[in-house]
Structure 1
Amino acid sequence: MARTQKNKATSYHLGLLKAKVAKLRRELIQGPSGGGGGGGGLGFDVARTGIASVGFVGFPSVGKSTLMSKLTGTHSEVAAYEFTTLTTVPGTVKVHGAPIQILDLPGIVEGAVDGRGRGRQVIAVARTCNLIFIVLDVLKPLGDKKLIEAELEGFGIRLNKKPPAIVVRKKDKGGVNITHTVPLTKIDPEEIKAVLSEYKISSCDIAIRQVDVTLDDLVDVIEGNRVYVPAIYVLNKIDAISIEELDLLYKIPNSVPISSKEWLNVDELVDVMWEKLDLVRVYTKPRGLAPDYDAPVVLRKGRSSVEDFCMSIHKEIAKQMKYAVVWGSSAKHSRGQKVGVDHVLEDEDVVTIVKK
């Protein structure tokens, strides 16, 4: 592919190769039978607790275990040599009343996606997390960042990206029909047809609604097994660098420089973590009483309707509900709004459930 010049005459050939590479990579990861080759494995995946999970990913000896131990109070083996953590170590930290599960994963090595250093098991657990902390040594952040991104990308994890606005609808006949509401600047119809040919798709409707869609985006949609996970680059050991160097680190997108050893700037990291997890706190208010601000019901954005709120407390409440009264940013007026089960709640809303 690197040797092939990109032009109209070669676009079909390049599309074919791109699809072949994606299929071969999937087989490497899952095995020819598609069994998920090297999933959680003994000691890797753990019982999930809390409202969300955050996985610590990084090379050995970057300070993941020290940060985990201090953040959660959970003992994760710490030493000045590589591969101290050999299994997933779970812990919990409470943020704004919400229990967040922290998973300290064993250090990965270059070539992890191909199985080196039990890397497949580590990355398989990372795929299931709601947020990934990529912990980097501040003395060599950019090189390590690029390597870890490549390992995670190779395992179908897309960091800080949204799913491409591409819809592929297979049909029995009628050939390939491509529609797009934006100009195609990085992909052309011949490449699209080549990818479809490799996947043995002869008839389908493809709708593209996103600028700068690439061939990789199309392959991701067809493969259908990609996960889109937010990530924070935790630049550890800032106690070892100067203020001038620290200013440069802040220019790295989605990064938070900290020192787990000296406990510097960890408050900012927790704030950014909460923001990235996109959680919603909802307070209960029994009729005639003040709201309970000590124990919020925590929901995920996109799953924060009044029905979700009821179900998170007890599944019978939604069945018994006549209506709810909501105060807060989702309500139309400050004195409270009467709503049904489909009403979407916002962060720090207060809710009273009125039963039938």
Structure 2
Amino acid sequence: MSAILVPVCEEEAAGMIRAAAEGGRTLAISGGNTRIGFGRPVEADAVLRSAGISGIVAYDPAEMVMTARAGTPLGEIEEALLESGQMLSFDPIDHRAIMGTEGEPTIGGVFATNASGSRRLSAGAARDSLLGIRFVNGRGEAIRAGGRVMKNVTGLDLVKLLAGSQGTLGFLTEVTFRVLPRPQTEQTVIVSGLDDEAATRVMATAMGLPLEVSAAAHLPESVRGRFLGGHLPEGAATVLRLEGLSASVSVRAARLRELLGRHAPVSAIENEASAHLWRQIRDVAPYTDNTCRPVWRVSVAPSAGFQVVAALRQEAGIDVFYDWQGGLVWMRMEADPEADLLRRVIAHFGGGHATLMRASERMRQAIAPFEPLPDPVAVLTQRVRLSLDPFGVFARRIT
């Protein structure tokens, strides 16, 4: 078992990274250890965890900006925001159930993996909220990039590069990010009985209306019973969330039900029931089955999602549901990952990205769990890595 290093400050972390660089050793980066099993299996000399570098550094609700050390538990962040009636706009996914892991997610891990939930459709991804960072590169040098306001663009490219880099470019020690007011209420309109293609059209229609739909998902009949304890209406469920002031949500939801109810049965759920449903969608509840059956996260154009699924079903056993207006397809394979087939079909329907979120270690070792980069992008990526980590200290799960 690899040694576990838990520095308590940025300076200590920098010293550990310098020692690893000088000794030719590799480090696997970890926050709360909730995403073990994601990406390729790695063999590192030690695990460098950010959990000891914790605490909220600055938070002014009036500015709607928070700065926190990277190892701060996500729950602590959300509790502080809740007290001020605010929230993380991108609603980060909690990977523990689908990955079968324990521990506590950290705010640094959220941004290092760009973990974004259903509200990404309307509010952007995690990286879109990230304003500034502090991190230690592979030389053991502490670097600051970005600032507390979006118009301060100094180092903004480094901010974007580190977000979603999976700990392969640097060790995050501090993050500064925007937050938003928490909606007063929410309501989810449910359109029942649509097939995947019809649901895609309905979601596109709803998102095109001036009704501020904040999330749109489609739950086919095969998964519908695994949400809300099976208490959704009969038939496939196309779900559309509206949030905001109570009076506004009520008016907008009534208008949406009127427009969509002309062609299919329509119902609605509110507040905690609605919030619970969207947590289940965000956290991929149908596939939290304590197995290693392969689960893919497929990102394509919203109009292409159902076409990709239809083509795959001709050749492989799959179970799916859709988020992000049909553009995010959560896909569980009944046997092998079928990576080549999946990526060939995605390319045929306009391209996108397929990320293997869960599989056995053997499968993760045998195939590319992340979408292979085009040659020009791969060359540029390698140059960035050599610049930030010239000694290859940070173990790479994504190649």
**TM-score class, shorter:** under 0.3
TM-score with structure 2 setting the length: 0.23
Which is higher, the Rg of structure 1 or of structure 2?
Answer: 1
